[in-house]
Structure 1
Amino acid sequence: MKTGVCYYPEHWPEEQWAHDAAHMRKLGLSVIRIGEFAWSRLETQDGKLHLDWLERAIDTLHEAGLSVVLGTPTATPPRWMLDRHPDMLAVDADGRIRDFGSRRHYCFSHEPYLDECRRIVTLLAERFGQHPAIMAWQTDNEYGCHSTSISYSPHALAAFQRWCATQYADVEALNLAWGNVFWSMEYDNFEQIGLPVGTVTESNPAHQLAFWRFSSDQIKRFNRAQVDIIRKHSPGRDVLHNFMGNFVEFDHHDVSTDLDIATWDNYPLGFLTRDNGDADDQQAFLRTGHPDGSAFHHDLYRGCCNGRWWVMEQQPGPVNWAPYNPSPVDGMVRLWGWEAYAHGAEVMSYFRWRQAPFAQEQTHTGLLLSNGDADVAASEVATLNRELAEVAAFDVGELMRSDTPVSESPNVAESLKSLPVHSDVAIVFSYAGIAIQDIQLPGGSSYSPLGFCQRVHSACRQWGVNVDIVSPAASLDQYRLVLVCTSTEDEDDLVKRLQSAHKQHQAVIALFPGTGSRSHDYTMPDNLPPGYFQQLLPLQIIRSESLPAEQSMTATDSHGLSRSCSQWRERIASSIEPRMSFGDGWGFHYEQDHIHYINAIPEKNALIPMIGELLVEAGIPCRELGAYLRTQRIGPYQLAFNFGKQAVELDKALGTVLNFHHDTPLLVGSRTLGQAEVAVWVAG
């Protein structure tokens, strides 16, 4: 794994660039992202280009031995662009214009703006596409950030009507598919179709889902336009985009089909406080981030581009945008780097090089303070790079017998390439399935389909196993346990892949509430949910209920074993006897021939042992690690991470089942693992 940083030469005097580049090199950084917000400096007014400064910046970095990721600047159209295209701005659900003065102020459906983007990307690709420093291109920046995936502008309306005409061909087919006979919502032509907003009560869920799919397709189309230009003028360079955490407003799997590498922006402390940390988690992991928060996204984005993924922006200290912004405990920046390595990252890039002394992100830390002095993270990054080189040298056997310093060996760069991550467990993750659940909230207002999927992933990780998160279109034949927790859409193709994994490769399959409950057009399957998934085991959902999160329900079996559930429960009709029953007679947990249907949402204290039982059934070696210790296997290496305040004795905590023995030598770390500490050893 290489390390890098996001750098903004346009923010600093040109005479400082060479010093910055040398300092980056000294810290062990090698990949530098630039340019993604610089349009106003590249084109100061309509048609007046200034690309020479960017070439000098690229040359300066290249002369220091650094590689460059050049970002297209289309996330920040300059002010003069709005004078030329005043109707290019997105519109929110309340009809307010998303105006100039920050970033991402454009509508994906505005054709003239897309033409402007093609023009600037072409100019950049023609000028710099063959420059020896350019190793990759980043398209735009953080698609959808600040709730910009969806726009309700006149341009979006017209494009949506055209999209509907393409999808359905005949308006009567659309009426039938959407069930528009309900409430007399039928259309006479496609031009009558509005946007699913501003209605007296809720709009048709089929209409909402279609608009979500359309909006996702618009992002894919926008991205593809840039990718095609870059591939034409800069062949052989990777093209990537930086996705975000806890973000499901469009289909990332679909957009990734046009990319070489999926990258994402990782802010563990910001995400914990803003998105998905309950009170207990925020108390326990305030300065470390949730032990599985980063890992979930590492595994998710590893599944987007055939295993190729980076962290494009890594939190180096307090950020500026969360409800509150704590400082990470000493050692966490180093740990986050090792964690990314363990999950197969090719590059770990930090945001940002130097803290900005102006504008919106003044309190967002960097590797350097705004005056150029090193901040805390700089030393941790240097330590990480030194340790990565040492482990890489161990992997290159001849270096262990050489007098050549590790950091100077020509073989280290080759051995720092990402190693394979092998997983026996797969979680099938569907962006469309999450959208379907979010539209009508079958689990109640407190239920989050993304959050539940993260809980399933976390439960697996607490048993010390690697996990792949894959799209519904992925092959499943290599897995021993497949967990389906967001596939609300009734998909015959997915069922066939599950059958193949089960029948040909003896995989254990577990389906969770909502599986196969809606069609592509948001209607109920003719044969009741779970639709096509009834080919896997004979059962039907005859009732579904949602309950407050605090309303716990307990299911018990004949031996007195109990499992607590909450939020969402389904009543099953089946010839299969349930393993457990609730007090009111509803069954819980149906299984036949190693295929399971878990028809209620298990609470944390129930989900963890249930996952453990499934792992044992699948024959996957595992050991319960508890809340704070995590492990990950990559290539020949096993790594352990301690997110808790209490030190962990690895000899006691791991055991031989996770490739750790009393005489196992450590390449990094010690056998007593303190908070934010890492251990690395050769497994087996």
Structure 2
Amino acid sequence: MLGICYYPEHWPESQWASDAQEMRDLGLTYVRIAEFAWSRLEPTEGHYTFDWLDRAIDTLANAGLKVIMCTPTATPPKWLVEAYPDMLAVDVNTGQSRGFGSRRHYDFSSIDYHREAMRISEVLAKRYGEHPAVVGWQTDNELACHDTTPSASASAVNAFQEWCKTRYQTIEKLNEEWGNVFWSMEYPSFASISAPYFAVTETNPAHQLAFRRFSSDQVIAFHDDMVAIIRQHAPGRFVTHNFIPMADTQTDNYALARELDFAAYDNYPLGRTDLFFANADTAQFKRYMRTGHPDFSSYYFDQTRGLCQKNFWIMEQQPGPVNWAVHNPRPEPGMIALWSWVAFGHGADTVCYFRWRQAPFAQEQMHAGLKRADNSPSAAYKEVQQVKAELDELNIKPDDPLHYDVAIVSTTANQWITEIEQQGQSYLHQQVEFEYYHALRMLGLNVAFVSPEAALTDYKLVVVPTMPVVTDSFIERCKKTSATIVFGPRSGSKTEEFQTPQNLAPGKLQNLIQVKVLSVETLRDDISETLHYEGQTFHSNRWREELDVDNKTKVLATYHDHTPAVVQAENRVYVGTLGCADFTRALLEKLAKVSGLTTYTLPEDVRTVERGDYRLLFNYSAEAVRVDGFANKEFVIGSNELPGYSYAVMKR
């Protein structure tokens, strides 16, 4: 299915009917509305103006469109800020209160804002919860965007003190768990605890981790309450949320998604590629400047699907140049269609484009839509028509299964700990996780993202790029699977309260593989040393652990001085270093084949994925390429010779 994001409050009412009919003629099914409309729905406190929204919904429904209603809580109006100034968050970098004039200017710990957000959500849910045209709901909008999870406000500090009291029970236990005897940081009472910011130098990492856990819990509690209200008044309607990249939320995304029917994602490949490759050389960035990196969108798609372990939606799909990245290039012709098919291939059931018409005013007037501000069709318009025709031809169903033999175990706690104690500026959590994912996708393998609480028995290969805190229950799940399990460096290196394990790293992983980390060195990313594996020489850089192993543990790779770098015991592998891309791919290819998986040698810019009865191929290169292993196959769409920036679909 296809959909669109629409803002009837931005356009003359006389234009609504023609917009709706054109959406239907284009082949769109769903229309998302109202996520930023609080000031129009409630111009002053308790004074509601729903008549325009009633008419907008009726207009869309009369054209045969289905409506996704949103709670407008991402943009509290000015009168609300003036009534409850404590609702504004305090920036943890500057200590300044965040002001009115954009969006997401609220504090998750504000009791006043929580009450008001739930009130407007309930008012909307009561009015539209059983409206026949409203088939689903989106909560808020891009929760935690713009670094809004943490706040250093008085409300947040007070709530954090109560959170600590519940978790630790006594101040003596907190001081012991955090190691506050170091630097005389012991607190005399819970009431004396502050937010871990604005100190002379770095604050206690255990304190920082606790505050991140607390801040995440505040977001989740806010969201859970909103979902409960919608479900009470909107029976039979789905509830979802439009996530941003997992690394940007600073929130436990698995917990945030647990009350949803499915997760949704906002996909902006070019803006995200520009940010991700900010420090890359010009040639590397230019290669993907107008296409996005071949694995970058799918990396987030697979993460989003993993949140609820079911298919997802794209709630916002980039339709052209955007306005918010450092630079905002125009997509190559064909990319809007290609990105849509990548999403469907990785488990999207619906792709909604942002937005119907480009706004001529305010912050996003440089953000493209399917139509320009003068109502003429943009370049993306015909590509959406093309996607609709191809979807009708293939008839991919929502319950078509995806085929996974490989899992990446991921959790936000990994990011928290490795950001708090980075140790070397070249260690970047998202980059490390992405390197493993990229290597697996280059081998043509489908990758499922799972939480540490998930069962691992359905997979042949399980990759843990890093997991500093390892639980006893995760160790037991590892023992129950016959899959080959690969642990990256830093795994098992910390206790739950951010201390070094008494038996040294990798801590509890020593129940699975007899290896001990004696010391760690970190190097600049432009300095590397040799790494020997399978008779070949690769590069080891950034993070390097000195490993001690017993004589029962097999050494798979060694450093330049012939000491162990990668070791294996039975079906468990521990990698003590970060290596070059060629090494990561070579290691995972060998382990995949030993695990009975079929891998492919794909061209650098080609990827493949399986869904239902189909295998899809995607070409991110301007050149036509031939893909080994798929010659003489019957293609439903496209052919074995993939032209530039294109895709092809074949029967499995």
Instruction: Using structure 1 for the length normalisation, give the TM-score.
Output: 0.93
The answer for unaligned runs of 5 or more in structure 1 is 393-414
- Find the counterpart in structure 2 of residue 519 from structure 1: 495
Q: Aligned to 1:571, which of 538, 546, 556?
A: 546
Instruction: Note if 1:494 corresponds to 2:474.
Output: yes
| 1:174 partnered with 2:148 | no
Task: Measure the CA separation in 2 of the matches of 1:535 and 1:204.
Answer: 29
Matches within 5 A, 1:465-476: 465-476=445-456
Residue identity opposite 1:4 in structure 2? G
2:220 is paired with a residue of what secondary structure?
Answer: helix
More divergent stretch after superposition (60-69 vs 290-299): 60-69
1:248 Cα deviation from its structure 2 partner: 4.4
- For residues 197-239 of structure 1, the C-alpha deviation after alignment (integer angstroms, 9 at most, x for no partner) is 0112110000000000000000001101110100000011111
Distance 1:423 1:661 in 2: 23
Q: Percent identity?
A: 44
Residue aligning to 1:631: 608
1:165-188 CA distance string (max 9 Å, x none): 111111111111111111121112
The Cα of 1:556 is off from its aligned counterpart by 2.0
Q: Supply the distance in 1 between the matched residues of 2:54 and 2:508 (Cα, whole angstroms).
A: 56
1:606 to 552, 575, 583: 583
Name the residue aligned to 1:307: 310
Query: Do the aligned residues in 1 keep the contact of 2:145 with 2:249 (CA within 8 Å)?
Result: no
Match of 1:406 in 2: none
2:639 counterpart residue number: 670
Structure 2 alignment gaps of length 5 or more? none
Q: Please give the alpha-carbon distance, in whole angstroms, between the structure 2 residues aligned to 1:335 and 1:560.
A: 39
Shift of 1:486: 2.8
Alignment partner of 1:589: what SS?
strand
Counterpart of 1:74 in structure 2 is: 73
Q: Which amino acid in 1 is paired with 2:228?
A: D
User: d(CA) in 1 for partners of 2:507 and 2:104?
Assistant: 40
Other-structure match for 2:425: 445
Answer whether contact 2:143 2:249 (CA < 8 A) is retained: no
The number of residue pairs the alignment matches comes to 646
Query: In structure 1, the residue corresponding to 2:73 is in which secondary structure?
Result: coil
Tell me what 1:202 maps to: 202
Q: Is the 8 A contact 1:388 1:416 kept in 2?
A: no
SS class of match (1:150): coil
Task: Look up the SS of the partner of 2:9 in the other structure.
Answer: helix
Q: How far apart in 2 are the matches of 1:281 and 1:14?
A: 47
Q: Deviations over 1:399-452 (max 9, x none)?
A: xxxxxxxxxxxxxxxx5425211110000011111110110103x112211111
Contact 1:490 1:525 in 2 (8 A): no
Counterpart residue number, 2:20:
21
* Displacement of 1:337: 0.8
Matched with 2:515 is 539
Determine helix, strand or coil for the equivalent of 1:264.
strand
Deviations 1:620-668 (A, max 9, x none): 001121320100000110000000121112xxx231xxxx341x22111
2:56 aligns with 57
How far apart are 1:616 and its partner, in Å? 0.8
Distance in 2 between the 1:258 and 1:523 partners? 32
Deviations 1:274-315 (A, max 9, x none): 134623431111110000000001100101112131111110
**Cα offsets for 1:333-383 (capped at 9, x unmatched):** 000111111111111111111000000001100000011111111110111
Corresponding position: 1:251 with 2:226: no
| CA RMSD, 1 decimal | 1.2
Q: Choose the corresponding residue for 2:299, options 291, 296, 299.
A: 296
Contact 1:261 1:309 in 2 (8 A): yes
- Per-residue CA deviation, residues 512-560 of structure 1 (Å, 9 max, x unaligned), is 0000111111111121111111111111111111110011111225x74
Report the equivalent of 1:269: 270
Instruction: Write the distance in 2 (CA, Å) between the matches of 1:96 and 1:540.
Output: 45
Report the 3-state secondary structure (helix = DSSP H, G, I; strand = E; otherwise coil) of the residue aligned with 1:235.
Answer: coil
Contact persistence 2:631–2:640 (CA under 8 A)? no
Q: Is the 8 A contact 1:434 1:488 kept in 2?
A: no
Q: Distance in 2 between matches of 1:314 and 1:281?
A: 24
Kindly indicate whether residue 241 of structure 2 is the aligned counterpart of residue 241 of structure 1: yes
Match of 1:222?
Answer: 222
Instruction: Indicate which of 603, 619, 628 corresponds to 1:654.
Output: 628
- CA gap of 1:303–1:487, structure 2 versus 1, over 3 A, is same
Corresponding residue for residue 537 of structure 2: 562
Which one of 584, 591, 597 corresponds to residue 620 of structure 1?
Answer: 597
Encode CA deviations 1:493-513: one digit per residue, 9 max, x unaligned.
111111111xxxx21111100
Does structure 2 conserve the Cα–Cα contact (< 8 Å) formed by 1:281 and 1:290? no
- Residue number among 377, 381, 387 corresponding to 1:378 in the alignment: 381
Aligned residue identity for 1:449: H
Amino acid corresponding to residue 119 of structure 2 in structure 1: R
Equivalent residue letter for 2:514: P
- Alignment-mate amino acid for residue 129 of structure 2: G
User: Counterpart of 1:566 in 2: which secondary structure?
Assistant: strand
Equivalents in 1 of 2:206, 2:124: separation in Å? 41
> Within 2, Cα distance between the matches of 1:271 and 1:535?
39
Q: What secondary structure sits across from 2:242 in the alignment?
A: strand
CA shift for structure 1 position 148: 0.8
Cα deviation 1:553-582 (Å, max 9, x = unaligned): 11225x742221110011111112422322
Residue 548 of structure 1, aligned match among 512, 524, 534: 524
In structure 2, do the counterparts of structure 1 residues 217 and 484 end up closer, same or farther at CA, with 3 Å as the change threshold? same
3-state DSSP of counterpart to 1:625: coil
CA contact (8 A) 2:546 2:564 kept: yes
Normalising by the residue count of structure 2, what TM-score does the alignment of the two structures yield?
Answer: 0.97
Distance in 2 of aligned mates of 1:486 and 1:63: 52
Correspondence for 2:328 among 313, 322, 325: 325
